[in-house]
Amino acid sequence: MSSDTHVLDHPPEGAAADWTIPQNWDAFTAEEHAVWDTLYARQIALLPGRASQAWLRGLDLLKLSDAGIPNFTDLSERLMKLTGWQVVAVPGLVPDDVFFDHMANRRFVAGNFIRRPDQLDYLQEPDVFHDVFGHVPMLADPVFADYMAAYGRGGRRAMELGALKHLSRLYWYTVEFGLIEEADGLRIYGSGIVSSFAESRFALESDSPNRIGFDLKRVMRTEYRIDDFQQNYFVIPSFDALLRATVETDFAPLYADILAQPDIPIARIEPGDRVITHGTQAYARERGWSEGAA
Ligand code: PHE
Ligand code: FE
């Protein structure tokens, strides 16, 4: 995600005008490749039966099971054939307009560093493991690939309409933390969940969070937290349904409505919600979060 923390207003030394840098794959050390392999092995043991069919298929099609940090040249070549997307390296978070411009042109920006061995469980900024293992398998799905490119175009528009905060919530609750209802039950497609050892179980199995049927306006009004497990997950019935509700919908009148309405506190259940799980919010209360009063 691009809009979370401190971002420079110009590309750093050595980066191009569009903020990209060479991946310089040869510079990764054996220790760094080993961190990828450790993270990969932990997640792959958990994800069959938990991750969505689309994500699992993407992982397979892109051959992400090969050892070590993926080489973006090879990865982009495979991805390009499937959906026209590429993966490009950036030094870290980039400004919103840069992020949207890359996305609209089917370039996914990935952080060019990997967490240290003592940071396996948690990291504030997206590294190459989150960005590639979490996001890139979904980009191999033709429907989701279209969603992401349309989001990039929508980002520009939201900036002009003063609605970026609301559009960002859609990204958060779908791309990063989305769940989907499949024939066998709920599955994960959000990259923030599939790349997290603890949250990939919490999101599906804990009694604490709410799980609520996806509704576009509802999602765009709902606050979120960036520093711990989510208190809410929104569940889509299918990627086609997500596409209809977003790509095929003009957001300008929706933004006008939403900008005149109050935000919804993180854990509050609203009249009209399709509640799949009414969470206990026990996890939130243990941490003393005020929104934990379910
Ligand atoms: N349809 C949205 C608009 O009119 C753009 C969008 C597409 C946003 C897909 C998110 C995802 O602004
Ligand atoms: Fe992400």
Binding residue per annotation — 102?
A: no
Domain annotation covers residue 14: no
Q: Which atom of ligand 1 is nearest to the CA of 255?
A: 12
Domain annotation covers residue 229: yes
Q: Which atom of ligand 1 is nearest to the CA of 171?
A: 10
What is residue 227's predicted lDDT score, i.e. its pLDDT? 87
What is residue 4's predicted lDDT score, i.e. its pLDDT? 45
Ligand nearest to the CA of 161: 1
What does the H/E/C string look like for 134-176? Answer: HHHHHHCCHHHHHHHHHHHHHHHHHHHCCCHHHHHHHHHHHHH
Look up the domain containing 136 and give its range. 25-292
Tokens of 131: 């960005």
Q: Is the CB of 151 under 6 A from ligand 1?
A: yes
Pairing mode of beta strands 185-188, 107-111: unpaired
Domain annotation covers residue 282: yes
What is residue 123's predicted lDDT score, i.e. its pLDDT? 83
Along the chain (294 residues), what's the average pLDDT of each consecutive run of 10 residues? 61 92 96 97 97 98 95 98 98 93 98 94 90 98 98 97 98 98 98 97 98 98 94 98 97 97 96 97 92 58
What is residue 293's predicted lDDT score, i.e. its pLDDT? 53
Domain annotation covers residue 16: no
Kindly give the distance from the C-alpha atom of residue 241 to the centroid of ligand 1, in angstroms, as a whole number. Answer: 14
By most ligand atoms within 8 Å of CB, the mutation choice from 240, 244, 246 for ligand 1 is 246
* Count of structural domains, the chain: 1
Domain annotation covers residue 2: no
What is residue 14's predicted lDDT score, i.e. its pLDDT? 87
Nearest alpha-carbon partner for 200 in 130, 139, 109, 281? 130
The CATH number covering residue 173 comes to 1.10.800.10
Kindly give the distance from the C-alpha atom of residue 289 to the centroid of ligand 2, in angstroms, as a whole number. Answer: 24
pTM summary value: 0.95
What is residue 292's predicted lDDT score, i.e. its pLDDT? 64
DSSP assignment letter at 192: H
Kindly give the distance from the C-alpha atom of residue 224 to the centroid of ligand 1, in angstroms, as a whole number. Answer: 20
Q: Is the CB of 251 under 6 A from ligand 1?
A: yes
Domain annotation covers residue 8: no
Domain annotation covers residue 103: yes
Domain annotation covers residue 4: no
Kindly give the distance from the C-alpha atom of residue 94 to the centroid of ligand 2, in angstroms, as a whole number. Answer: 12
